Amino acid sequence: MSGPPRAVALARLHVRAALAPLAVEHPGALVLVACSGGADSLALAATTAFVAPRLGLRAGAVVVDHRLQDGSDQVAADAAARCRALGLDPVEVRTVQVARGPGSGGPEGAARDARYAALGEAADQRGAVAVLLGHTADDQAESVLLGLARGSGARSLSGMRAEVGRLRRPLLALRRSETEEVCSAAGVDWWTDPTNAGDGPDAPLRSRVRATVLPLLDDVLGPGVVDALVRTADQLHDDDAALSALARDLLSAALVDEDGPGRVLLDVAVLEAALPALRTRALRLAALAAGCPAGALGREHVLSLDGLLTRWRGQGPLHLPGGVTATRVCGRLVLEPPHH
């Protein structure tokens, strides 16, 4: 008697690996699948519906309607109906308002922020111990390429994490074509987002990378580009984790005082003696602790902050995102939130 198709078995293996520790720590708990109605998230929904009960967990789904396309409400309703047909319960649709204009982080970033906020609220209200996301190896490869194009460091090039807080990404080892196989094996039709196939100048950047750049790299460099980019992300993730841990230790050693909410005082001598890779990471952590928004804090800000240590010429306060100021005073680097 033959077993399930290879893609189905692979998906079940990875979802089981992600859920098994939760089943031990939280028997009978609820996990939620974030479902858009596309092949990736529906493959995850079908696989979770199979795996979770066998581990003693309950499985539900959340569909987020961003209201960015005509008919999005029907797409969301169809996705919810498919999740219910797979046996997931509870299943809910959440409608969000996506921020627009300056400071929103762009349409893709704003949609992501709104989606993650809605998923977090759903998990809180339902008491879910995890939210499962359907990102695949193709998504990971796209993230690495986008990071390279932006001149990002190891933290960005290490791609998406398999586990961040309550978020789990069990399908990062699967290709997008394999999630379609999982859906076909489950008898589930999926929705294809028209923006994902777009390669015109008005299409989202990630969609253009997906439709144009990755196929071109496959043609020029040969098949295996996606797998190579994923391996790069995995290796950089390990490096980044090690450097980040050392940077946290450095920040603790340099911390002189936290004088009130957000105000951070650091010992200049301790930071100056550190390796640049650790020092800049520690400075970024300090800036975040002082109130700089993570999405607005760029490398140029961190390097300017580093200049107060390595290129000190008596310069005045440095103004950072979020209204944070940094000043060097009497051998101390002082980071202060606005209106301190």
37: annotated binding-site residue? yes
Spatial CA neighbour of 279 closest among 287, 158, 312, 134: 287
Closest residue by Cα to residue 30 from 140, 124, 115 = 124
Strand-pairing partners, residue 326, are: 318, 335
41 assigned ligand-binding residue: yes
Quote the tokens at residue 116.
């993650």
Residue 38 known to bind ligand? yes
Is residue 158 annotated as involved in ligand binding?
A: no
Residues across the chain = 340
Put residue 127 in one of left, alpha, beta given phi > 0 → left and psi -120 to 50 → alpha. left
Residue whose C-alpha is closest to residue 125's, from 207, 32, 41, 246: 32
The reply to whether 11 sits in an annotated binding site is: no
Beta partners for residue 265, in sequence order: 257, 334
CA torsion, ordered 268, 279, 336, 314, to nearest 10 deg:
50
Q: Which residues are annotated as a binding site?
A: 36-41
The binding site for ATP comprises 36-41
